[in-house]
Amino acid sequence: MRCAALLASALGTACSPADETAPEPAPCGGVRPLDLAPPPPIHTPRWAFEPWISKDISTADDTRAFVAGFAERDIPVGVVVLDSPWETQYNTFVPSPTRYPDFAGLVAELGAAGIRVVLWTTQMINTSSFDLEPGGDAYQGPAPNYAPAAACGFFVDDAQSYGWWKGVGGALDFFDPLAVAFWHRLQDPLFAIGVSGFKLDFGDSYVRSDPVATEAGPVAHQAYSEAYYRDFYAYGAAARGADDFVTMVRPYDESYEFEGRFFARPEHAPVGWVGDNRRDWVGLADALDHVFRSAEAGYAVLGSDIGGYLDRDDQDLSVEIPFDTLVFARWTALGALMPFMQLHGRANITPWTVPDHAAETVALYRYWATLHHELVPFFYSLAEEAHAGGPGILRPVGDAASAAGDYRYHLGDAFLVAPLLDAIGTRGVALPAGGPYYDFWDPAGAPLPGGQTLVAYDATARDRVPLFVREGAIVPADVASPLTGLGDAASAGHLTLLVWPSASASSFALHDTDGGVTQVTAQATATGAELGLSRSLLPLVVRLRADVAPSAVTVGAAPLPTHASRAAFDAAASGHYFDATTHFLWVKTPASAGPVALAVE
């Protein structure tokens, strides 16, 4: 009876278990079918590929100002993470009425601006709590959901108390259907107002037992960890739908006193984030190492905290790590050139509050966030293919032994990224065999044969890293401004296809906004190039690498008009324009429900 009454109090509703004298009565409303739903096939929603922003300590007004700061500087944002503290206590799932009054209104307001809300949490419920971060909250006594969970036996290891970085408490038993039903009822009000996901921090590492005692018997600690991440993904996707929900989880991670390991399984990791890296060159290399290990293990959507999270060494907290705007600049570029892009740091740095080079930092952050936004169709399509068993998005070059100090990687079949890991600004770049490659920063430059090393490649400009495009690349993009050079304002409302044709046919499976798949093919010919699409859901703008102006461009048997200027091309519904300065041929065609065959001669 005591368990049922405590559950009713914690959940704010009446309990009606079949037998209130039973030792473990059902949570209010009972165990529902959704509580036991298996995880769906792994899926990362399209919106999760937009740029994310996050702060450690925030409020509703501060969140609005944070978002407004990006909007005022024309920097795209798709997701806001509300990190701790946002609740009445850790992991009550009840928004703090002082920090976030009218929480539902805030979520709705951000949603109306096209911005999703993701909330930090762990699987711990505290008997006592603290916050070591300046400006954090103080909590008196146990979390209000601790007593009912303890009375009902919902913790592992017979309610053993474990210390973690936010206090002392019990760890929820994800092998107990009654415990997870109780846990889900706490989450339900958040889903009802439109919360789109959880950032799941690694409280599971602080469960010190192995095996872990659960309702289902002893399980390996790793199995307990995987159950934690599995349950959040399974229930959130069932309650909200897989297109409206993500979990942000650690794939491989080694930090603080813990040995490196994998956390969530790849099939339960719609977004993988390697966190708690130092905010210096050491931290950047550490993040790349963890991303590479995760990519090789089959995690598809990966990224890190831009600029690094920690202002102190995680192995020796007495060592302070100064903020360096050059590290931040290089990390921003790499953040944009990974599937998951997120700004998050302990010091809550924004591009406009850096200690030096502020105007330059805002400009370069705007560029990279805009490029990442433009590449959402590219990243999303690659993720859908990877989740279905295809190759990964981020593909390390070489084996693990050769990666350290180099960390070159491909993005799909299109890009080669060569990170800068020090302040010098130059590095050798070994171009893998099988190119050739084009220098992204030199659009009219000649193709560079693969298998050679570019000695002391110069990327001293703070706004760039060595970036190359492999011949044969097909890159779908959503362009609406001239900022990145991939189009201009007239590109809005069109699908932009960036194409570097090769003598060997190449293809790309574009996963469209209507849920269908458009097959795109390209090939260089003796007289020009051919491009084919199984359909064109939107009007099409093609930017195709070409060294000479074409004599004709046709779609099917119909010739397209030639435009003498970019302005004339932008104003027309169809046609082509050759830019001799950049060696790009621009082609525009209307939408088509049927196949599109474009020939350049």
Q: Is 1 helix (H, G, I), strand (E, B) or coil?
A: coil
Q: Are residues 591 and 445 part of one domain?
A: no
Per residue in 333-387, pLDDT (tens digit) is 999 999 999 999 988 999 999 999 999 999 999 999 999 999 999 999 999 999 9
The CATH number for 593's domain is 2.60.40.1180
310 CB-contact burial (10 Å; exposed 0-12 / middle 13-18 / buried 19+): buried
- When the pLDDT of each residue in the chain is averaged and rounded to a whole number, the result is 95
Number of domains in the chain: 3
Query: E strand or H helix at 495, and its extent?
Result: strand 495-499
User: CA 100, CA 128: separation in Å to the nearest integer?
Assistant: 22
pLDDT higher than 70, residue 21: no
Q: Which residues pair with 256 in a beta bridge?
A: none
Enumerate residues 6+ apart whose C-beta is below 8 A from 99.
58, 59, 60, 85, 86, 137
pLDDT higher than 50, residue 540: yes
Q: Is 283 helix (H, G, I), strand (E, B) or coil?
A: helix
Decide: 305 and 277 in contact? Cβ < 8 Å: yes
Per residue in 311-343, pLDDT (tens digit) is 998 888 889 999 999 999 999 999 999 999 999
424 CB-contact burial (10 Å; exposed 0-12 / middle 13-18 / buried 19+): exposed
Query: E strand or H helix at 533, and its extent?
Result: strand 529-533
Enumerate residues 6+ apart whose C-beta is below 8 A from 112.
none
Q: Are residues 228 and 91 part of one domain?
A: yes
Residue 18 placed within a domain: no
Q: Which residue shows structure tokens 């146990």? A: 142
Q: Which residues pair with 71 in a beta bridge?
A: none
pLDDT higher than 70, residue 20: no
Q: Are residues 588 and 444 part of one domain?
A: no
Residue 448 placed within a domain: yes
Per residue in 517-533, pLDDT (tens digit) is 999 999 999 999 999 99
Please state, for a pLDDT cut of 70, what percent of the chain lies above it.
Answer: 98
Structure tokens at 488: 């201009």
User: Measuring CA to CA, which residue among 506, 572, 568 is closest to residue 539?
Assistant: 572
Task: Report the pLDDT value the prediction gives residue 24, as an integer from 0 to 100.
Answer: 62
Q: Are residues 152 and 47 part of one domain?
A: yes
Domain boundary among 387, 421, 437: 387
Q: Are residues 291 and 310 part of one domain?
A: yes
Per residue in 489-517, pLDDT (tens digit) is 999 999 999 999 999 999 999 999 999 99
Q: Which residue shows structure tokens 């009375």? A: 151
User: CA 385, CA 383: separation in Å to the nearest integer?
Assistant: 5
Q: Are residues 555 and 502 part of one domain?
A: yes
Q: Which residue shows structure tokens 């590449």? A: 375
Taking CA 284 as the corner, what is the angle to CA 64 and CA 350, rounded to the nearest 5 degrees?
20
Query: E strand or H helix at 281, and its extent?
Result: helix 281-296
Q: Which residue shows structure tokens 């350049």? A: 600
Cβ neighbours of 147 (radius 10 Å): 18
Q: Are residues 548 and 409 part of one domain?
A: no
Quick one: pLDDT band at residue 250, thresholds 50, 70, 90?
A: very high
Q: Are residues 257 and 117 part of one domain?
A: yes
Decide: 358 and 328 in contact? Cβ < 8 Å: no
Q: Phi/psi class of residue 298: alpha, beta or left (left: φ > 0; alpha: ψ in -120 to 50)?
A: left
Domain boundary among 470, 492, 515: 470
Query: E strand or H helix at 439, and its extent?
Result: strand 437-439
- Out of 2-16, 150-164, 296-310, 513-527, pick the least confident: 2-16
Helix-helix angle 325-336:281-296, to 10 degrees: 20
Q: Is 350 helix (H, G, I), strand (E, B) or coil?
A: coil
323 CB-contact burial (10 Å; exposed 0-12 / middle 13-18 / buried 19+): middle
Signed CA dihedral, 381, 392, 469, 375: sign only: positive
The one-letter amino acid at 413 = D
pLDDT higher than 50, residue 19: no
Task: Report the pLDDT value the prediction gives residue 18, as an integer from 0 to 100.
Answer: 44
Residue 55 placed within a domain: yes
Q: Are residues 550 and 464 part of one domain?
A: no
Decide: 538 and 597 in contact? Cβ < 8 Å: no
Per residue in 260-285, pLDDT (tens digit) is 999 999 999 999 999 999 999 999 99
The CATH number for 166's domain is 3.20.20.80
Q: Which residue shows structure tokens 């065609």? A: 589
Q: Which domain holds residue 450?
A: 402-470
Q: Which residue shows structure tokens 């502020």? A: 358
Residue 16 placed within a domain: no
393 CB-contact burial (10 Å; exposed 0-12 / middle 13-18 / buried 19+): buried
Q: Which residues pair with 469 in a beta bridge?
A: 415, 438
Q: Are residues 440 and 493 part of one domain?
A: no
Domain boundary among 423, 442, 470: 470
Q: Are residues 208 and 99 part of one domain?
A: yes
Enumerate residues 6+ apart whose C-beta is below 8 A from 442.
none
pLDDT higher than 70, residue 220: yes
pLDDT higher than 60, residue 23: no
Residue 394 placed within a domain: no
Residue 24 placed within a domain: no
Structure tokens at 99: 């920090």
For the chain, give percent helix, strand, coil, nearest 5: 30, 25, 45
Residue 491 placed within a domain: yes
Residue 335 placed within a domain: yes
Mean pLDDT, to the nearest integer, of 556-580? Answer: 97
Q: Are residues 316 and 409 part of one domain?
A: no
443 CB-contact burial (10 Å; exposed 0-12 / middle 13-18 / buried 19+): middle
Decide: 503 and 524 in contact? Cβ < 8 Å: yes
User: CA 358, CA 346: separation in Å to the nearest integer?
Assistant: 19
Q: Which residues pair with 199 in a beta bridge?
A: 120, 248
